[in-house]
């Protein structure tokens, strides 16, 4: 659930950079696809819904879902929403809005692919479109920036955790993991230590946002997923990627 797809400018990771699979343990990776995590993390929930809708060509629903995920700081959802505005999927073509959205998707400046796509947008726009994109900036920032997203995540996480019955330390709890097909009807139960499930990387907004950013960017830099400007989206083995137009 972390990524998007074929790099226009793929950077080489530093020798000491951890591999994607080392950032999360096998159990933690599975946990990120569990019902308990997905339903309590709006960015993941709506991102997943967006991927499913997009691949069914239900572009209106996909646009709505990526918008909702983007409100919680998911940069790939913001990039997908930008692409859909650029291409007119699920709504009218709106190139200034697409640029403004891709600009906020690239705000952390940790993902060179999003920065490259943003510049491709800029090169393709007219001067009038660029000025309109600038005028949209304040509204986009107020809705989608990390500062705004962190506040929303804090409320969502606090509300969910207060509603849960905590398992005593040392006891295991059952976590429902989505099967390979991602279907809610195909779930596998796995027992995990509550200290792992409630680790701060999953429930403290800043740590969580950093963890997701690290995982996504490591996967892109190691060629596990790729990004290409102006592509279409595919769901490959449960992972989203943008591929070139045919």
Q: Which of 58, 48, 40 is nearest to 2 (CA)?
A: 48
Q: Is the pLDDT of residue 10 over 50?
A: no
Can you tell me the distance from the alpha carbon of 130 to that of 119, in angstroms, rounded to the nearest whole number?
11
Q: Is the pLDDT of residue 245 over 50?
A: no
Can you tell me the distance from the alpha carbon of 154 to that of 42, in angstroms, rounded to the nearest whole number?
11
Query: How do strand 239-243 and strand 232-236 relate by DSSP bridges?
Result: antiparallel
213 with 108: CB under 8 angstroms?
Answer: yes
Percent of the chain with pLDDT over 70: 67
pTM for the structure as a whole: 0.76
Structure confidence by residue, pLDDT tens digits, 184-240:
555 566 666 777 788 899 999 999 999 988 887 776 666 555 555 554 444 444 444
45 with 38: CB under 8 angstroms?
Answer: yes
> CA-based Rg of the chain, rounded to a whole angstrom?
18
The CB density around residue 171, as the number of other CB atoms within 10 Å, is: 10
Query: How do strand 173-178 and strand 187-192 relate by DSSP bridges?
Result: antiparallel
Q: Is the pLDDT of residue 175 over 80?
A: no
Please provide the distance, in angstroms rounded to a whole number, between the alpha carbons at the two ends of the chain.
25
* Res 41: pLDDT: 92
Residue ranges per structural domain of the chain? 25-243
* Res 190: pLDDT: 64
* DSSP label of 24: S
């Amino acid at each position: 659930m972390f990524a998007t797809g074929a790099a226009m400018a793929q950077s080489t990771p530093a020798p000491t950079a951890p591999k994607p699979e080392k950032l999360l343990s096998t159990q933690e990776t599975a946990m990120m696809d569990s019902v308990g995590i997905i339903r309590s993390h709006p960015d993941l929930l709506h991102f997943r819904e967006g991927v499913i809708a997009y691949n069914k060509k239900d572009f209106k629903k996909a646009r709505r879902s990526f918008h909702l995920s983007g409100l919680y700081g998911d940069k790939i959802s913001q990039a997908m929403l930008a692409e859909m505005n650029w291409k007119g999927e699920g709504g009218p073509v709106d190139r200034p809005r697409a640029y403004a959205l891709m600009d906020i998707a690239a705000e952390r400046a940790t993902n060179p692919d999003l920065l490259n796509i943003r510049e491709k947008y800029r090169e393709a726009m007219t001067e009038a479109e660029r000025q309109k994109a600038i005028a949209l900036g304040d509204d986009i920032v107020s809705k989608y920036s990390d500062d705004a997203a962190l506040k929303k995540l804090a409320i969502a996480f606090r509300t969910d955790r207060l509603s849960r019955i905590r398992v005593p330390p040392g006891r295991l709890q059952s976590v429902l993991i989505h099967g390979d097909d991602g279907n809610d009807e195909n779930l596998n139960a796995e027992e995990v230590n509550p200290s792992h499930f409630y680790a701060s990387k999953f429930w403290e907004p800043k740590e969580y946002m950093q963890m997701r950013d690290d995982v996504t960017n490591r996967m892109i830099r190691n060629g596990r997923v790729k990004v290409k400007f102006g592509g279409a989206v595919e769901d490959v083995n449960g992972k989203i990627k943008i591929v070139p137009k045919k």
